[in-house]
Amino acid sequence: MRRIDIIGIGIAVFIAGGGLYIILKASGLDSMDAGIWSQALLIGGLIIWVLTYLFRVASKNMTYNQQLKNYEDAVLQKRLEEMSPEELEKLQADLEQEQQPSKN
């Protein structure tokens, strides 16, 4: 995420909090209650956002992990493309031999 994105998100949250306060005040709450409820809703949203972040960390569904997986897949694909037909046959034979259960 770029620095300008973070600044934009910060401004948007600030404006959302003010807008929520104005909406709650216009709906009949006094200034103190509207302020408390707008802060409570913003903190609730922040907690939900942090929980989604922690879930993505736990499930390894982060941008870095995706980029690393894509890179590893591309490297393996390139190595396969560079192999000669004889090397591919040998690799396939080795894989088939590993998949067969050993009879000991």
Give residue 23's pLDDT. Answer: 95
Give residue 63's pLDDT. Answer: 84
Could you tell me which residues come within 8 angstroms of residue 13 by beta carbon, excluding any fewer than 6 positions away? Answer: 42
Give residue 101's pLDDT. Answer: 74
Residue 32 sits at the vertex; the CA angle it makes with 11 and 25, to the nearest 5 degrees, is 65
Retrieve residue 85's tokens.
């037909």
Could you tell me which residues come within 8 angstroms of residue 70 by beta carbon, excluding any fewer than 6 positions away? Answer: none
pTM score above 0.85? no
Give residue 104's pLDDT. Answer: 52
Positions of the chain with pLDDT lower than 70, given as ranges: 102-104
Give residue 62's pLDDT. Answer: 81
Residue with tokens 């922690």: 54
